[in-house]
Copies of this chain bind each other. A is one copy, B any other.
Amino acid sequence: MTRPLTTLADIAALAGVTPATVSRALSGNTRISAATRGRVIEIAEQHGFRPNQTARNLRLGRTQAIAIVVPLGHQSAQRISDPFYTTMIGQLMDELARRDHAMLLSAVAPSDGGWLAQIARSGRADGIIVLCQSDQDAVLREAARSYRPLVVWGETEDEPYCCVGTDNKRGGKLSTMHLLAGGRRRIAFAGMMDTPELVARHDGYLEAHREAGVEPGPHIPVPFAFEAASRDLYAMLDRHPDIDGIVAASDMIAMKALHELSQRGRRVPNDVAVVGYDDVTVAAHMVPPLTTIRQDLTMAAALMVDLLFRRMQGEDAPSTRVPLSLIHRQSA
């Protein structure tokens, strides 16, 4: 089977000692005569021995693994490939590897409310990072009451769990102000308000308008996933030919917008200016390069992991916001 050909006991037999001695020799820190240690280590290496992690973890009461959970509907495969998630996951992976922890990745359909408890109680991981609270605030609150090592990426408000995120409202406001400053007066908001993050971005959009004394433009309810019938939704563009700016709730939505505008022969940024959100890798390479709001995901990932490890040690790490800035390129 998968079982390594050798166990601690096998090595012990070969070396003419007990498993205990082998364990000590390999872990190094206890007092073992140099001779035995040398012999044991040599035999172990010779046979490519690796201690069984499962047994080790059982004994040590930990798993050396962190679960990364993405709460999604059934379109998981589609949404998980959103560059935001993947960039974040890549960064988290690096950060966890640095701390010698494995990454257990799972997308869950949050239809049943027990998904988090399931993962938390199963003992598969020492801690959990949830990417995007989505509409699962209640579940998160509930879980946080009894489960400590939990960090969530999302909109940080007065939530009882540890949450890392950006000031989405400010982000939405920033991009809108940029368009207003550029003289745009008929600015649409593209994105669905189905998560706290996006609601906050929309709030910022509204606030910027209010402060500038400009009437907000129409709302284009584009879903995150491309495949959906967003083409129809973008027919909205035809119904509102006076739109001269678009605040997109994500870079992917912005990309979609660039595409649809191009299809309709409307030039960016001359006719319509577009601002994205996330600054995903491809943003800089779109046609035209996308002006967008950057969330520093490298810092975010490092921060989340750091907070998580502090919580795993019993500390009470607080929610934190990571900085955010507008990256000025050519689409607006």
Interfacial residues, chain A to chain B (CB-CB below 8 A): 1-5, 48-55, 57-58, 61-63, 65, 76-78, 80-81, 83, 85-87, 89-91, 93-94, 97, 102-107, 117-118, 121-127, 146, 149, 226, 252, 255-256, 258-259, 262, 281-282, 284-289, 298, 312
Contacts and interface: CB of A to CB of B under 8 A. Distances in A.
Contacts of A123: 2-4, 50, 52-55
Contact of A281 (B55, B81, B85, B89): B81
B122 A255 contact: no
A81 B121 CA distance: 31
B52 A54 contact: no
A61 B287 CA distance: 53
A288 to B, nearest CB: 8
A97 B103 contact: no
Given A77-B91, A77-B93, A54 B50 contact: no
B48 A76 contact: no
A288 B259 CA distance: 8
Given A90-B80, A106-B102, A2 B287 contact: no
B107 A93 contact: yes
A125 B53 CA distance: 9
Contact of A54 (B2, B58, B102): B58
Contact of A121 (B48, B252, B281, B287): B48
A305 B57 CA distance: 27
Nearest to A85: B86
B281 A259 contact: no
Instruction: Give the oligomeric copy count.
Output: 2
Given A2-B312, A3-B123, A4-B122, 6 more contacts: A2-B61, A4-B121, A76-B94, A81-B86, A89-B105, A255-B286
Contacts of A284: 226
A104 B94 CA distance: 14
Contacts of A3: 61, 123
Contacts of A286: 255, 259, 286-287
Given A106-B102, A121-B50, A80 B76 contact: no
Nearest to A49: B121
Contacts of A255: 282, 285-286
Nearest to A108: B97
Residue in A121, A126, A259 whose Cβ sees the most chain B Cβ within 10 Å: A121
A309 to B, nearest CB: 12
Nearest to A62: B2
Nearest to A125: B2
Residue in A80, A81, A104 whose Cβ sees the most chain B Cβ within 10 Å: A81
Contact of A77 (B4, B83, B94): B94
Contacts of A90: 76-78, 80-81, 107
Nearest to A94: B77
Contacts of A94: 76-77, 107
A66 to B, nearest CB: 11
Contacts of A85: 86
A93 B78 CA distance: 11
